Amino acid sequence: MAEQTFTLPDLGEGLVEATVLEWLVEPGQRVERNQPLVELETTKSAVEIPSPHSGVIARLHGAEGDVIKVGDALVTFEVEQAAGIVGTVPASDEKPARRVRLRPPS
């Protein structure tokens, strides 16, 4: 298991912080990607923040009523495998499976 910390994203329109209205999850709970995590209030509106990961909630960073700044830790997840680079790099001794033509056929 790897830990992955999700920070408060930029909510746009020059907003630099948000207040935690209500946590919709709790530590130890399993969540799926895009499941609502928390309801936040900014100076402009109330918004629900969805989970960027599937995994188990390890820690909530802030209590209801706390002000969280953009870029500060919001939630820490325990995930099966941390996200990495998509695809694979072929070994140096492998030949490419596809040919690329440098000039059109005659």
Residue 97 has a pLDDT of: 57
**CA 59/CA 62 separation, integer angstroms:** 9
At 1 the pLDDT is: 75
Residues of the chain with pLDDT under 70: 81-106
Q: CB of 49 within 8 A of CB of 40?
A: yes
Q: Can you list the domains of the chain with their CATH numbers?
A: 2-79 (2.40.50.100)
Helix (H), strand (E) counts: the chain:
0, 8
Question: Parallel, antiparallel, or unpaired: how do β-strands 17-23 and 67-69 relate?
Answer: antiparallel
pTM: 0.71
User: What pLDDT is attached to residue 57?
Assistant: 96
The two three-digit tokens of residue 38, written as one number: 């928390």
